[in-house]
Amino acid sequence: MQYFDCDKIQYEGPDSRNPLAFKHYNADEVIAGKSMKEHLRFAGAYWHVMRNDLSDPFGAGTAIMPWDDGSNSVENALTRVDVFFEFLEKMDIGYYCWHDRDIAPELNDLSASNDALDQVVAKLKEKQVETGVQLLWGTACLFSHPRYAQGAATSPDANVYAYAGAQVKKALEATKQLDGLGYTFWGGREGYATLLNTNMQRELDHLAAFLHMAVDHANKIGFDGPFYIEPKPREPSTHQYDSDAAACLNFLREYDLMEKFRLNIETNHATLAGHTMEHELTVAANAGMLGSIDANRGDELIGWDTDQFPTDIKLATEVMLVVLEMGGFTTGGLNFDAKRRRESHDPIDLIHAHLGGMDAFARGLKIADAIREDGRLAEFVQTRYSSFDNGIGAKVESGACSFEELEQFAMGNGEPTLSSGRQEMLENLLNEFL
């Protein structure tokens, strides 16, 4: 049975006018010593591809999903696995990500839900073996069910906390069973709506204890991939503790969790936090903590997580500049945490959407590589800081300087003459490559 009305998508080059062909993503083409496929490590998000019916807060779902019988059955869940793998193969996407409740139904009690998960995981395993597709990361959905309305690992209720722990335990074991490369924590409900009813300190301590238990369990079952924290400032909670990369790093340092954790940075979350994606990626990378990326984009006119497909070439370039600079992904990749617009309801729209994101990142990769090869941008930045390469500046960087020495230097050197920051010239330089 074929669910997507197309053949495997092929690379036809930039002159192709075929909407169902890659114009730039040429999997085996080598850029800076590695194939595009190895650089970009694209992943499909199970929740968007298979489970997003394209409903919004004002209206019902529109997505046409002829394979889905609408039931909450294991049988329906197993059918979706076939559809998803057909999709991945047609797109030549080598990785995927899931929440436990995307792949398998939540049933009447935890042990029934666990059994359902086991059945689907067994089928996913077969499909992975058959196709060579790998699990980039798994995660537990700790935000949809009403029990998590007041948080999961930050719930005021220890019963809920225990339920969440049990769910993560199982999801982690499923990830391990599928040789998952990582495991993600995104705390959609780990925050508060009002401080009037919230003990922030206890909630943060509980969250840290939860993550330490996850580390202990990973060690127990031999899961050695990293854990990722995915920052997002709000939505659905009014305030979420993992608000941005800097807040997450502070939390991980404070609670001694740096070793096992990395960050998974999502574009639309960065903008919700009032930052650019480049900013968030740079903060994470500077700390040696950039693990993976949820690739999407927001809408400048809408103030929520619109999760649009990342088709902006400049944005893809900015992302790939940071990724190349850090030497590429190790366990992480580019997960399309992105959904079609509600108007794009046909199955083939899933193909168009991912194809566009992959082509945009292929261009971003090529452009970022060209900028790095050219070297002018890096040289400008290096020169800009060159007064710290020797003399008083070098002394500051070595940590051996004092205020007395700075005063003596300033007294002897008069008013500093600043060099221009040349922002416009550098913007023009970037445009040479776009």
8-state DSSP, 109:
S
The nearest distance, CB 139 to Ni ion, in angstroms, is 9
Contact 296, 266 (CB under 8 A): yes
8-state DSSP, 390:
S
C-alpha 155/C-alpha 147 separation (Å) is 9
Element housing 89 (H / E): helix 74-91
Q: Does the footprint of ligand XLS cover residue 230 (CB under 6 A)?
A: yes
> Taking CB under 6 A as the criterion, which residues in 124-143 touch ligand XLS?
139
Q: Does the footprint of ligand XLS cover residue 305 (CB under 6 A)?
A: yes
The nearest distance, CB 338 to ligand XLS, in angstroms, is 10
Beta strands 227-229 and 183-185: pairing type?
parallel
Contact 188, 150 (CB under 8 A): no
Q: Does the footprint of Ni ion cover residue 359 (CB under 5 A)?
A: no
The residue length of the chain stands at: 434
C-alpha 221/C-alpha 98 separation (Å) is 20
SS (H, E, C) 207-274: HHHHHHHHHHHHHHHCCCCCEEECCCCCCCCCEECCCCHHHHHHHHHHCCCCCCEEEEEEHHHHHHCC
Q: Does the footprint of ligand XLS cover residue 280 (CB under 6 A)?
A: no
Element housing 11 (H / E): strand 10-11
With CB under 5 to 8 Å by kind, the binding choice for 89 among ligand XLS, Ni ion, none is none
Question: Tokens 């998000």 correspond to what residue?
Answer: 45
Q: Does the footprint of Ni ion cover residue 337 (CB under 5 A)?
A: yes
Taking CB under 6 A as the criterion, the residue among 102, 190, 294, 318 binding ligand XLS is: 294
8-state DSSP, 156:
S
C-alpha 220/C-alpha 149 separation (Å) is 30
Q: Which residue number, 38 or 235, has a Cβ lying nearer to ligand XLS?
A: 235
The nearest distance, CB 113 to ligand XLS, in angstroms, is 17
With CB under 5 to 8 Å by kind, the binding choice for 113 among ligand XLS, Ni ion, none is none
Site size with ligand XLS, rule: CB under 6 A: 10
C-alpha 414/C-alpha 408 separation (Å) is 11
Question: Tokens 């489970």 correspond to what residue?
Answer: 51
Active-site residue set: 99, 102
Contact letters for ligand XLS, residues 65-104 (x by CB under 6 A): ----------------------------------x-----
C-alpha 235/C-alpha 147 separation (Å) is 17
**Sign for the pseudo-dihedral over CA of 151, 154, 159, 164:** positive
The nearest distance, CB 317 to ligand XLS, in angstroms, is 22
C-alpha 308/C-alpha 93 separation (Å) is 18
Q: Which residue number, 184 or 308, has a Cβ lying nearer to ligand XLS?
A: 184
> Taking CB under 5 A as the criterion, which residues in 237-276 touch Ni ion?
266
Tokens encoding 144: 């949809």
The nearest distance, CB 121 to ligand XLS, in angstroms, is 18
Q: Which residue number, 186 or 251, has a Cβ lying nearer to Ni ion?
A: 186
Q: Which residue number, 9 or 152, has a Cβ lying nearer to Ni ion?
A: 152
Q: Which residue number, 48 or 127, has a Cβ lying nearer to ligand XLS?
A: 48
The nearest distance, CB 231 to ligand XLS, in angstroms, is 10
The nearest distance, CB 291 to ligand XLS, in angstroms, is 13
Cβ-count burial 235-244 (b if 16+ within 10 Å, e if not):
ebbeebbbbb
The nearest distance, CB 99 to ligand XLS, in angstroms, is 6
Using CB positions, name the residue nearest to ligand XLS: 186
Taking CB under 6 A as the criterion, the residue among 25, 84, 95, 186 binding ligand XLS is: 186
> Taking CB under 5 A as the criterion, which residues in 289-328 touch Ni ion?
294, 305
Q: Does the footprint of ligand XLS cover residue 175 (CB under 6 A)?
A: no
Q: Which residue number, 89 or 305, has a Cβ lying nearer to ligand XLS?
A: 305
Name the CA dihedral angle for 207, 142, 115, 337, rounded to a multiple of 10 degrees.
-120
Q: Which residue number, 20 or 54, has a Cβ lying nearer to Ni ion?
A: 54
Element housing 102 (H / E): helix 100-103
Contact letters for ligand XLS, residues 231-250 (x by CB under 6 A): -x------------------
C-alpha 27/C-alpha 202 separation (Å) is 48
Q: Does the footprint of Ni ion cover residue 280 (CB under 5 A)?
A: no
Q: Does the footprint of Ni ion cover residue 369 (CB under 5 A)?
A: no
The type of residue at 116 is A
With CB under 5 to 8 Å by kind, the binding choice for 41 among Ni ion, ligand XLS, none is none
Which stretches of the chain bind Ni ion, using CB under 5 A?
266, 294, 305, 337
Which stretches of the chain bind ligand XLS, using CB under 6 A?
99, 139, 184, 186, 230, 232, 266, 294, 305, 337
